[in-house]
């Protein structure tokens, strides 16, 4: 097995020095053994190698690393396989369960586009995405439990194994953890011919069915998000973590006017993330605690504060973490301290092959 390493480049080291929700060092250090402090892994978009031996080595290394860190649980931000591989039951079901079950701790799993939305692609096997979504619901969300061989209780939006059962949440140590089915590829909303037929043999009827699925799920996502914030406010939670797969800000550079001039104008009825993001903004502004959005999709690790106010300042209580991914099997160790000002702080665990 490759040697595990915490060594990382100078740029990553400099980033790590800034990684808290306020992008400054926490007010005080606290060990995981102290009351109320959690250690959590953030990961997703993993193990995309087409070489079976290399992929197995990556899985072994990541699982061993997480098991070595005495974590309370993990947050998986979707995409359990590459976007150019087939969506077989084995690939999106049994193989994924086997990985989750090798971890010593439970996992909260948010669905990604690679395991259902994009399965219509010819190189994915030309599957029906709606059928694949139904399969995933019955395979992973058929009980009020998280993933893993040592699961924890979670609340599900839909009846176990049925529609919207993938939307889940639990509270731990005065912090709310929420998973939502908000995947890439425009959240399964099909509005252009290119979105319909690119890499695909879909008919217009197939694309209309995809949009109908979005039209039904989108308001349920908004409802779950609002309910979760309401519960967090009722419980006087110090923070709330929202786990999705999609990089809703891609491909925009948000600095130097990019947020207002480029990103915000795209939030229209053709954008599958508009309702989710506008709700997230509203709820964040009406929540006294810290809000953390965790996602994958773009395969570029970052921690930033991309929700800006009308005067250009960052929204103080909002932070985004994008996990590693693709051919990079590294992960992020998150410390959750509800007594600290920032609640969430981060340390990248960079694995060398």
Tens-place pLDDT, residues 140-191: 999 999 999 999 999 999 999 999 999 999 999 999 999 999 999 999 999 9
Q: Residue 73 forms beta bridges with which residues?
A: 40
Read off the pLDDT band of 352 (50, 70, 90). confident
Confidence (pLDDT) at 12: 42
Contact 107, 148 (CB under 8 A): yes
Residues 6+ apart with CB under 8 A from 10: none
Q: What pLDDT score does 2 carry?
A: 38
Edge-to-edge strand list for the sheet holding 107-109: 107-109, 73-76, 38-43, 331-336, 344-349
Q: Is a pLDDT exceeding 50 seen at residue 6? A: no
Average pLDDT, integer, range 257-266 = 94
3-state secondary structure at position 16: helix
Residue pair 347/333 in contact by the 8 Å Cβ criterion: yes
- Closest by CA to 69, choosing from 20, 103, 26, 109, is 103
Quickly state the pLDDT bin for 35 (edges 50, 70, 90). low
Integer distance in angstroms from the first to the last C-alpha of the chain? 9
Q: Which of 42, 125, 40 lies closest to 82, judged by CA? A: 125
Element (H, E) at 303: strand 302-304
Please state the separation of Cα 197 from the chain's center in Å.
27
pLDDT, averaged across the chain: 91
Residue 101 confidence (pLDDT) above 50: yes
Mean pLDDT of 92-106: 97
pLDDT digits (tens, 9 = 90+) for 314-350: 999 999 999 999 989 999 999 999 999 999 999 999 9
29 has a pLDDT exceeding 50: no
pLDDT of residue 3: 35
> Which H/E stretch holds residue 293?
strand 290-295
Q: What is the pLDDT of residues 221-259, one digit of tens each?
A: 999 999 999 999 999 999 999 999 999 999 999 988 899
Q: Cis before residue 166, ω within 30 degrees of 0? A: no
pLDDT for 241 equals 98
pLDDT at 173: 96
CA distance linking residue 168 with residue 155, whole number of Å: 5
- Six-digit token string for 187: 């959240």
The dihedral built from the CA positions of residue 187, 189, 191 and 194, taken in this order, carries a sign that is: positive
Token reading at 135: 């399969």
Q: How many CA atoms lie within 13 A of 127 on its CB side?
A: 24
140, two tokens: 């992973």
Indicate if the pLDDT at residue 94 is higher than 90: yes
Q: Phi/psi at 240 (nearest 5 deg)?
A: -140, 135
SS3 109: strand
In terms of Cα–Cα distance, which of 275, 280, 301 is closest to 291? 280
Within 13 Å, how many C-alpha atoms sit on residue 5's CB side? 9
Residue 263 above 60 pLDDT?
yes
DSSP 242-254: EE-S--TTTT---
Is the previous residue joined to 285 through a cis bond, with omega within 30 degrees of 0? no
* pTM beyond 0.75: yes
């Amino acid at each position: 097995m490759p040697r595990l390493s915490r060594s990382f480049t100078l740029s990553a080291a400099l980033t790590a020095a800034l990684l808290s929700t306020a992008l400054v060092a926490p007010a005080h250090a606290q060990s995981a053994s102290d009351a109320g402090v959690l250690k959590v892994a953030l990961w997703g978009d993993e193990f995309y190698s087409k070489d079976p031996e290399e992929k197995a080595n990556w899985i072994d290394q990541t699982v061993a690393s997480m098991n070595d860190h005495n974590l309370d649980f993990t947050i998986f931000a979707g995409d359990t396989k590459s976007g150019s591989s087939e969506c077989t039951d084995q690939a999106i079901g049994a193989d994924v369960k086997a990985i989750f079950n090798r971890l010593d701790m439970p996992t909260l799993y948010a669905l990604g586009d690679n395991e259902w939305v994009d399965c219509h692609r010819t190189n994915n096997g030309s599957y029906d995405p709606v059928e694949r979504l139904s399969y995933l619901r019955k395979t992973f969300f058929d009980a009020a439990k998280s993933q893993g061989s040592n699961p924890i209780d979670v609340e599900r939006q839909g009846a176990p194994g049925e529609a919207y059962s993938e939307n889940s949440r639990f509270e731990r140590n005065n912090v709310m953890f929420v998973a939502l089915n908000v995947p890439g590829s425009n959240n399964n909303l099909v509005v252009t011919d290119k979105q319909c037929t690119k890499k695909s043999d879909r008919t217009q009827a197939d694309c209309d069915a995809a949009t109908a699925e979005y039209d039904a799920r989108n308001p349920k996502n908004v409802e779950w998000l609002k309910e979760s914030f309401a519960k967090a406010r009722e419980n006087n939670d110090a923070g709330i973590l929202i786990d999705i797969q999609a990089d809703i800000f891609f491909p925009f550079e948000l600095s130097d006017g990019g947020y207002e001039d480029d990103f915000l104008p795209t939030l229209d009825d053709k954008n599958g993330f508009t309702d989710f993001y506008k709700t997230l903004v509203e709820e964040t502004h009406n929540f006294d605690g810290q809000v953390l959005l965790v996602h994958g999709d773009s395969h570029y690790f970052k921690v930033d504060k991309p929700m800006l106010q009308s005067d250009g300042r960052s929204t103080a209580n909002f932070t985004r973490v994008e996990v590693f991914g693709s051919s990079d099997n590294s992960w992020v160790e998150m410390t959750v301290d509800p007594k600290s000002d920032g609640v969430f702080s981060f340390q990248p665990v960079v694995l060398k092959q």
